Amino acid sequence: MWNIIKKILQPYICDRQPHFKFKETYDISGSELRRVISSAYPSARIYIADAIYKYVSYDELVRWLNEDSLDQMRWVKNIWDCDNFAVESYCRAHKAVGNLAYGECWGNTPIGYHAFCLAYCDGKIKIIEPQNDDTKDWKKSDYKPDFIKI
């Protein structure tokens, strides 16, 4: 059964995606990125592995989300659900720009415990729902990650 599912999903998975070009990227140190995220989510486990990351403007993030096809995939309980969307979105973001300040998260949300994504843009943290490309400012959201991997 898994082979059938893989065959169906093959056109959508990260290695098959066309390369996206952001118009401009900016640098942020890993330590500064950790400081920003830690100040927003002090109790979260935050995994940041590199010394330097790239970030993009919010407008560029939205342009990428609009051009990407991930939101067109169907959610399938226990097969292709929130964690798969978050991991795939993370993969696609890092394929577009290596070391992008974009991560996968797990935590409490308005719909319960859930996987989603986080991006650093223009000095702000943005929450992304990869299933539908919805974005929220972290200050205005009820998303409380307890695990963040950039």
Q: What is the CATH number of the domain that holds 94?
A: 3.30.460.70
- Cα distances from 94 to residues 54, 141, 150, in angstroms, run 10, 24, 10
* Domain with 60 in it: 25-149
Is residue 106 within 8 Å of 147, Cβ to Cβ? yes
Q: What is the pTM of this model?
A: 0.85
Q: Is residue 19 part of a domain?
A: no
Least confident of 24-33, 75-84, 88-97: 75-84
Is residue 10 in a domain?
no
Residue 2 included in any domain: no
Domain contains 11 = no
Residue 80: half-sphere exposure toward Cβ, Cα within 13 Å: 19
**pLDDT value of residue 96:** 87
Which is nearest to 138 in space by CA: 88, 103, 89? Answer: 103
Domain count, the chain: 1
8 assigned to some structural domain = no
**Does residue 51 register a pLDDT over 90?**
yes
Question: How high is the pLDDT of residue 139?
Answer: 81
